Amino acid sequence: MFEQAVSGLDLEQRVVVLDLGTIRSGTVDLFAPYRCRLDIIDLPNTLPALAAMEDHDERRACLSKLFDAHAREPLDLILCWNLLNYLGRDEIHQLIELLAPRFQTTTRLHAMMEYASPLMPATPGHWIPDANARLHASQVDEEQIESPRYKPKELERIMPQLAPERTVLLGNGLQEYLFRPKPAQS
């Protein structure tokens, strides 16, 4: 599915990709042949600080600050691998609210979600794309915590600006999503 999202990008046109994970060499290498602007917001490394904040407004301010630093160029592709599992409903809602002003009709959000297993690694693992845009998992935490197992309908309720374009249940129990903006939001 990620291959499909990448193959839709035009080598001749400027493309804007937002990676909400820790930067990996594979991601940079994959988009290097494109006229690409790659925005990186390393949310996995911000999660411990977010978790330590008990006040909702404080968490909101922390997230807003991360996004304020970035320009408002419309997005073509958002990489959200495994991250949403580690955010609460309010945080996911706020995250998409912050991203929505940069949506255009062609924007796609690619996400991996825990679906089948009640447990998941205690910290987000890394996904590394290869040159063919195939994703490979690495650095999986052996410690496990309870998985939120967000259902597709629930995600649609939490993220009203987005609708799933494709979903795939993977053999490892993860659900792979490709979201697109709903017409009213584009």
Partner 1 sequence: MSEQQHRGAVIGPSIQIDGTLKGDEDLLIQGKVEGTIELKKNSVTVGESGEVKADIFAHSIVVEGQVEGKIVGSERLVMRKTARVRGTLIAPRVMLEDGARFNGTIDMDPEAEAIKSAFAGQSTKPNPPQAQPSTASAPKSGSSPAGSADRS
Given the rule CB under 8 A, which residues bind partner 1? 1, 3-4, 6-7, 11, 14, 22-25, 28, 30-42, 45, 66, 69-71, 128, 131-135, 165-172, 176
Q: Return the number of the residue (41 or 109) whose C-beta is nearest partner 1.
A: 41
- Strand 77-81 to 14-19 pairing: parallel
Question: Among residues 160 and 164, whose Cβ is nearest to partner 1?
Answer: 164
Q: Closest distance between partner 1 and the C-beta of residue 85, in Å?
A: 17
Buried b (16+ CB within 10 A) or exposed e, 44-68: beebeebeeeeeeeebbeebeebbe
CA 96 to chain centre: 10
Q: How many residues does the chain have?
A: 186
Our CB check for partner 1 shows the closer of 96 and 174 to be 174
Look-up of token digits 């600006």: 161
Considering the complex, what minimum distance in angstroms separates the CB of residue 169 from partner 1? Answer: 5
As measured in angstroms, the least distance from the Cβ of 154 to partner 1 is 17
